[in-house]
């Protein structure tokens, strides 16, 4: 039996269409959320100091946006961007912090036909400069506290806040409807070559996410979904905000700086029925509390890295609820997931991801590009007609075409399909690393560190330092005695925090084969051996 899943195509995206229109008004469902329904709560943990100064219980005071307020903010900001001279089709770079202005600006740009480019607030100035050189954005929407570089059209946060407060009446606001296949937004991802690539997505991408809503989230209009990530993380932007809003549910987002240890109280105090986070967040919560009282919680969602079966078992023991994981990538919406409607199959207690979502067409391909037999390893591939698949890489037609093989888009990840249709994940087909849910190319980190004048060779790898905990480690050779502290400071100015190595190890020589090529997979053993060597 071949490793192919095909349950028939998902319903086609209607036309004309606009991603923001779908999110804000749920046109497809013909039942937009009531204006006074709560769309977003920004949650603030209770302050111990304030509680100590009062005899009355001190509850956190969330910042609340109703659907009416959210729509008005998007109208105001969208109209304001056009008033600044921007035109439909212009790319707009988002350099904004972890506040509601980020998703509001994202939706506002899309609503009026602009193409937003959301980016992590952790990027450094050199990283932002490379993006600007590559993308040539017409404007930068910027919080002054977020790293950027000079640009002739920079709109600061105060101006954006003023725009969203000056909303035109709904009957005077023109939503830019059009072809569902036209560009809607761009996200950056690290490619296997070490250079981040601009992934261009169409408006139809949000339409395809309905398969996730049904077969991963089991999301309902009455749900209150708490996402542990920042507003400006794409996992949060999609799973934590766009998807709940497209169904009329309530999004709960902790305010900037909230500690992971505060999350159980927030889940409980705000009656969260769904919880979404990277697996590492669940792991840290369980290290603190082995029993968690979350009576409103139906289940948890996780993505970004492989979920440990031990974490899944411990979470169920601590909360009485299951964790459902999913697999996707920057180039395509999540397309393989554990489905709460099927509960959690016994074999998923091991290393399987779940099943392809109904409406998808997925295969495991052998080296010849043909579907492999069941239970045989190969490359996970997606039908090139999948509605959630990217339009392509910006200004990189050759790189785009390289990702396709006939009717299939190649993910670069290895897996195998079991007899029951589960997908077992076998790792990357290249050397991509994972740092707290972010995919990081070792070549990008090495390129930044190699510019240090005292280093001769540099190689980085992900190392498992304890069960289910991986860190990025840099291995280097140098004639001079270069300290880890000096290298850490050097990396801090050139790499986002999640890309920076957490440890540095000086070697006499990097491991290599007979042809002198770096043996990257031997690097973790070098680190483990070093840790075991008595000082």
Pick the more confident residue, 189 or 361: 361
pLDDT at 355: 95
HSE of 78, CA atoms in CB hemisphere, 13 A: 29
Average pLDDT, the chain: 90
Which residue in the block uniquely carries the two structure tokens 């101006």?
159
Bridge partners for 325 per DSSP: 302
Phi-psi region of 85 (alpha: psi -120 to 50; beta: other; left: phi over 0): left
- Assess whether pLDDT exceeds 50 at residue 97: yes
Mean pLDDT of 506-533: 84
Mean pLDDT of 324-335: 93
DSSP 369: S
Determine the angle formed by the axes of helices 279-288 and 309-319, rounding to 10 degrees.
50
d(CA 21, CA 8): 27
Q: Tokens in use for 316?
A: 């169920």
Which residue in the block uniquely carries the two structure tokens 């991509």?
432
Q: Tokens in use for 161?
A: 């806040």
* H or E element at residue 18: none
Of 14-18, 53-57, 364-368, 382-386, which gets the smallest average pLDDT? 53-57
Question: Phi first, then psi: what are they for 210, rounded to 5°?
Answer: -60, -30
Q: How many domains does the chain have?
A: 1
Bridge partners for 115 per DSSP: 91
DSSP 166: S
Which residue in the block uniquely carries the two structure tokens 């269409």?
17
Among candidate residues 501, 463, 469, the one with its CA nearest the CA of residue 485: 501
pLDDT at 432: 75
With a pLDDT cut of 90, the percent of the chain lying above it is: 75
Bridge partners for 251 per DSSP: 40, 225
Question: Phi first, then psi: what are they for 257, rounded to 5°?
Answer: 90, 0
Pick the more confident residue, 516 or 496: 496
- 240, 265 contact by CB (below 8 A): no
Q: For the sheet with 503-506, list strands across it.
A: 457-466, 469-477, 503-506
d(CA 404, CA 372): 17
- Assess whether pLDDT exceeds 60 at residue 347: no
d(CA 281, CA 258): 13
pLDDT at 116: 98
pLDDT in tens, 364-395: 999 999 999 999 999 999 999 999 999 999 99
What DSSP letter does each residue of 415-426 carry, written as one string? EEE-TTS-EEEE
Which residue in the block uniquely carries the two structure tokens 């069941």?
374
The contacts of residue 198 (CB under 8 Å, 6+ apart) are: 117, 131, 134, 135, 186, 187, 188, 393, 394, 395, 396
pLDDT at 56: 46
Bridge partners for 189 per DSSP: 197
Other CB atoms closer than 10 Å to residue 436's CB: what's the count?
17
Examine residue 264 and state whether it is found in any structural domain, yes or no: no
Examine residue 184 and state whether it is found in any structural domain, yes or no: no
Among candidate residues 468, 18, 513, the one with its CA nearest the CA of residue 246: 18
Q: In the structure, what pLDDT confidence band is assigned to residue 344 with cuts at 50, 70 and 90?
A: low
Which contacts of 130-136 are long-range, i.e. CB under 8 A and separated by 24 or more positions? 130/196, 131/93, 131/188, 131/196, 131/198, 132/93, 134/198, 134/394, 134/395, 135/91, 135/93, 135/186, 135/198, 135/394, 136/91
Q: Tokens in use for 490?
A: 């050097």
Examine residue 480 and state whether it is found in any structural domain, yes or no: yes
pLDDT in tens, 177-214: 999 999 999 999 854 445 789 999 999 999 999 999 99
DSSP 260: G
In terms of residue numbers, what domain contains 447?
A: 433-532
pLDDT at 17: 97
Examine residue 356 and state whether it is found in any structural domain, yes or no: no
Determine the angle formed by the axes of helices 101-111 and 67-83, rounding to 10 degrees.
60
Find the length of the chain.
535
Examine residue 386 and state whether it is found in any structural domain, yes or no: no
d(CA 176, CA 113): 6
CATH number of the domain that residue 441 is part of: 3.30.300.30
pLDDT at 466: 85
Examine residue 13 and state whether it is found in any structural domain, yes or no: no
pLDDT at 503: 96
d(CA 242, CA 209): 10
Examine residue 489 and state whether it is found in any structural domain, yes or no: yes
Q: In the structure, what pLDDT confidence band is assigned to residue 233 with cuts at 50, 70 and 90?
A: confident
Q: In the structure, what pLDDT confidence band is assigned to residue 351 with cuts at 50, 70 and 90?
A: low
Q: In the structure, what pLDDT confidence band is assigned to residue 57 with cuts at 50, 70 and 90?
A: very low
Q: Has this prediction a pTM greater than 0.75? A: yes
pLDDT at 192: 43
Q: In the structure, what pLDDT confidence band is assigned to residue 61 with cuts at 50, 70 and 90?
A: low
pLDDT at 52: 39
pLDDT at 30: 65
d(CA 376, CA 337): 20
| Four-residue CA torsion sign, 503, 508, 512, 516 | positive
pLDDT at 200: 98
d(CA 282, CA 285): 5
d(CA 228, CA 260): 8
pLDDT at 191: 46
- Assess whether pLDDT exceeds 70 at residue 98: yes
pLDDT at 304: 81
Q: Tokens in use for 306?
A: 């492989």
Pick the more confident residue, 305 or 384: 384
Of 287-296, 308-317, 436-445, 479-488, which gets the smallest average pLDDT? 436-445
pLDDT at 215: 96
pLDDT in tens, 400-427: 999 999 999 999 988 999 999 999 988 7
Q: Tokens in use for 237?
A: 């932007």
Examine residue 458 and state whether it is found in any structural domain, yes or no: yes
d(CA 270, CA 226): 9
| Four-residue CA torsion sign, 79, 85, 89, 93 | negative
Which residue in the block uniquely carries the two structure tokens 């008595």?
534
């Amino acid at each position: 039996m071949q490793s192919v899943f095909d349950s028939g195509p998902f319903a086609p995206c209607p036309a004309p269409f606009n991603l923001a229109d779908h999110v804000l008004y749920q046109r497809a469902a013909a039942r937009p959320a009531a204006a006074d329904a709560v769309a977003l709560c920004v949650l603030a943990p209770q302050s111990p100091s304030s509680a100590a100064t009062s005899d009355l219980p001190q509850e956190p005071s969330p910042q609340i946006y109703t659907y009416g307020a959210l729509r008005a903010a998007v109208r105001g900001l969208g109209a304001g961007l056009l008033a600044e001279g921007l035109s439909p089709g212009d790319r707009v770079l988002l350099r904004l912090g972890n506040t509601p202005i980020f998703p509001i600006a994202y939706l506002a740009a899309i609503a009026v036909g602009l193409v937003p480019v959301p980016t992590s607030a952790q990027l450094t100035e050199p990283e932002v400069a490379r993006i600007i050189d590559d993308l040539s954005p017409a404007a930068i929407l910027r919080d002054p506290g977020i790293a950027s570089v000079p640009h002739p059209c920079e709109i600061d946060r105060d101006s954006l806040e003023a725009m969203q407060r000056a909303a035109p009446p709904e009957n005077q606001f023109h939503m830019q409807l059009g072809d569902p296949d036209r560009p809607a937004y761009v996200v950056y991802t690290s490619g296997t070559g070490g250079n981040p690539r601009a992934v261009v997505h169409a408006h139809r991408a949000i339409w395809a996410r309905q398969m996730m809503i049904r077969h991963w989230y089991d999301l309902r209009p009455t749900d209150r979904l708490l996402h542990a990530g920042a507003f400006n993380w794409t996992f949060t932007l999609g799973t934590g905000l766009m998807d709940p809003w497209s169904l009329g549910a309530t999004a709960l987002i902790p305010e900037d700086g909230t500690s992971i240890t505060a999350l159980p109280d927030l889940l409980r105090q705000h009656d969260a029925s769904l919880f979404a986070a990277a697996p590492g967040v669940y792991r840290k919560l369980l290290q603190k509390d082995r029993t968690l009282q979350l009576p409103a919680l139906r289940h948890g969602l996780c993505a970004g890295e492989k979920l440990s079966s031990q974490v899944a078992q411990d979470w169920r023991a601590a909360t009485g609820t299951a964790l459902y994981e999913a697999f996707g990538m920057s180039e395509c919406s999540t397309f393989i997931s554990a489905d709460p409607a099927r509960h959690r199959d016994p074999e998923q207690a091991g290393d399987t991801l779940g099943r392809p979502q109904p409406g998808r067409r997925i295969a495991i391909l052998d080296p010849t590009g043909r579907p492999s037999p069941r239970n045989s390893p190969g490359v996970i591939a997606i039908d090139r007609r999948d509605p959630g698949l990217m339009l392509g890489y910006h200004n990189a037609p050759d790189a785009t075409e390289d990702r396709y093989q006939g009717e299939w888009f190649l993910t670069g990840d290895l897996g195998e399909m079991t007899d029951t249709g589960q997908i077992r994940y076998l790792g990357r087909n290249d050397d991509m690393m994972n740092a707290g849910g972010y995919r990081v190319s070792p070549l990008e980190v090495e390129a930044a560190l190699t510019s240090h004048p005292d280093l001769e060779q540099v190689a980085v790898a992900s190392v498992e330092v304890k069960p289910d905990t991986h860190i990025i480690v840099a291995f280097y050779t140098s004639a001079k005695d270069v300290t880890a502290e000096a290298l850490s400071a050097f990396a801090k100015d050139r790499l986002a925090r999640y890309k920076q190595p957490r440890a540095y190890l000086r070697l006499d020589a990097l491991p290599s084969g007979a042809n002198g090529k770096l043996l990257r997979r031997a690097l973790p053993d070098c680190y483990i051996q070093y840790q075991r060597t008595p000082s």
